[in-house]
A = this chain, B = another copy of it.
Amino acid sequence: MSDRLEWKNLRERRMAEPGAAETYEATRLAFELGQEVRHLREGHGWSQSQLARAAGMTQSAVARFEAGGTVPTLPVLERLARALDRRLDVRFAANADAA
C-alpha cells in the first residue's frame, strides 16, 4: 500500500508539492467543493448514480469529484449546481485580511 495511485494519494501529493501555493489552494478548494456536493446530494437523498444522471455524467465521475480526485472545471460545477438546484457562484471577493 505504498504507491497505489488512489485519488486521495494524488491529492495529498499535489498539496505537498513545494512552491505551489496556488495549486495547493485550488486542490483544497476542489476538496471542499466535493464535500459540499456530497452533503447536498445526501440532503436530496440521492445516490451518486442518481446525481450523475441528473448532471449528465457517470457515477464514477461523481465519485471522483466528491473524493477531490481532480480539480473540477467550471462547466462541471455548473452542471452539478443545476442538478442540485443551486446557482454556481464564482467571484473575486475583497481580501478582508483573509485567512
Interface residues of A (CB under 8 A from B): 21-23, 25-26, 29-30, 33, 36-37, 40, 56, 71-75, 77-82, 84-96, 98
Copies in the complex: 2
The answer to whether A78 and B40 touch (CB under 8 A), given A85-B95, A92-B87, A95-B86, is no
The answer on a CB contact under 8 Å between A86 and B92 is yes
15 more A-B residue pairs beyond the given contacts A21-B82, A87-B98, A89-B93, with a C-beta to C-beta distance below 8 A: A22-B56, A22-B79, A22-B82, A23-B75, A26-B74, A26-B75, A33-B91, A33-B92, A72-B74, A80-B92, A81-B92, A86-B94, A87-B93, A87-B95, A88-B92
Closest to A91 in B: B89
